[in-house]
Amino acid sequence: MINLETPKKHATLIDQAHQLAMNMLRPISRKYDRAEHTYPKELDMLAALIDGVSETGATSGAGAGGVRRDTAADDGADGGGGKVRNGTNLASVLSVAEMCWGDTALLLSMPRQGLGNSAIASVANEEQLERYRGTWAAMAITEPGTGSDSANITTTAVQDGDHYVINGEKIYVTSGERADSVVVWATLDKDLGRAAIKSFLVRKDNPGLKVERLEHKLGIRASDTAVITFTDCRVPAEDLLGSPEIDTKSGFGGAMATFDNTRPLVAAMAVGCARAALDLTRDLLEQAGVVIDYDRPAQSQSAAAATFLRLEADWEGAKLLMMQAAWMADNRKPNSLEASMAKAKAGRVGSDVTLSCVQLCGTLGYSESELLEKWARDSKILDIFEGTQQIQQLIVARRVLGLTSAELK
């Protein structure tokens, strides 16, 4: 049975992540928000530190690289699920939340911690996992005109001997310029629908790949977001992630496995950013003489205190859903429903909390003298990418009602 307390075994990792966020990310947060598209060189040292910690085997999940669900996973749990485990999924979401307490955009800019790495962890075979070790992979899903409906991908991959030839355009690719490779989602056969959608690892130096431009954005400005085109881009067949077989019965299985992996991570980003806003807002309210009393009913306190208590309660619900989705993955339980619930709840709560904190703090919240306005801008994307709020609600409804996507649109 899940225990909703933070596992003691992860306490050291969480503390390390918080120290990094406080001492390395938070101090340079405003600098790189203003210097959009400038690579944060300070992250090279941080990435080397995380690599060193990972190589010692002392801990895991220090970044957003994603994790893999194996039958011989952490803590010696047996395949029959006899022993409850708190493994790398839970460690990842808890440490990502702490790092985003420092800065979400800087976490998304971390070398070798791209969302594409989560895709690799989800669907790559053992040989590919070893071969791609150390790569920094962006993830290219979204296309012009497809929006959140990833099943309508039009980028094609046509087999030609021992290669696939990829043609298409991808937009809003996080770390699209800085990463050394890109996980590209393409269809092998449009007539077969979502079952034919596969992911490929494409090296950035491939002559058929071109970064067309970088986007100017509302938030997460330290993170580069690119438009990438693929023109007769030849990719070795061995770089198709997972199985090349098209199984119409399994449908969108590989893609969904990726989302089941990344959506709790995006929820963790929203949880961390919202926590930062709540912590600063509590301090500013106390400085203004607003007392927040946890031992008294909200309705008997000031309007500002009552609002803050509501925001904290909502935040707590998002955090627990995030932990549940990660815990289920650690224990090899199907978590598609819970991953979407966590993403939907945390995305909405993140935007609500950060904007409400801006309002509670008045001129201090709206000005650049504090980071509250930046967190409000950063948090909005966390309700959009990896599937919008509306898409998550559709997925949850389908899972709860037992309906297919054709039956409930």
pLDDT tens figures, 343-366: 999 999 999 999 999 999 999 999
Q: Please determine, for residue 253, whether its predicted confidence score (pLDDT) is greater than 50.
A: yes
- pLDDT at position 63 is 39
Q: Residues with catalytic annotation? A: 386
Where would I find the beta strands (DSSP E) of 113-239?
Answer: 137-140, 156-160, 163-174, 181-187, 197-203, 209-214, 225-236
Q: Break the chain into its structural domains and give their ranges.
A: 8-126, 137-239, 253-401
Which of 122-126, 253-257, 372-376 has the lowest average pLDDT?
Answer: 253-257
Q: Angle at which helices 88-102 and 253-287 pack, to 10 degrees?
A: 40
Q: Are the CB atoms for 281 and 308 separated by under 8 Å?
A: yes
Residues contacting residue 122 through CB under 8 Å, at least 6 positions apart: 66, 68, 254, 257, 258, 260, 261
Burial (Cβ within 10 Å: 0-12, 13-18, ≥19) of residue 230: buried
DSSP, res 351: H
CATH of domain 137-239: 2.40.110.10
Top mean pLDDT of 95-104, 141-150, 250-259, 324-333 is at: 95-104
Q: Are strands 163-174 and 156-160 parallel, antiparallel or unpaired?
A: antiparallel
Q: Are strands 197-203 and 209-214 parallel, antiparallel or unpaired?
A: unpaired
Other C-beta atoms closer than 10 Å to the C-beta of 401 total 9
Q: Class of the 8-126 domain?
A: mainly alpha
- pLDDT at position 65 is 43
pLDDT tens figures, 160-174: 999 999 999 999 999
Residues contacting residue 268 through CB under 8 Å, at least 6 positions apart: 92, 93, 94, 96, 97, 100, 322, 346
- So what's the architecture of 253-401 in CATH? Up-down Bundle (1.20)
Which pTM was predicted? 0.91
Do the first three CATH levels of 137-239 and 253-401 match, i.e. the same topology?
no
Which token pair is 318? 């998002």
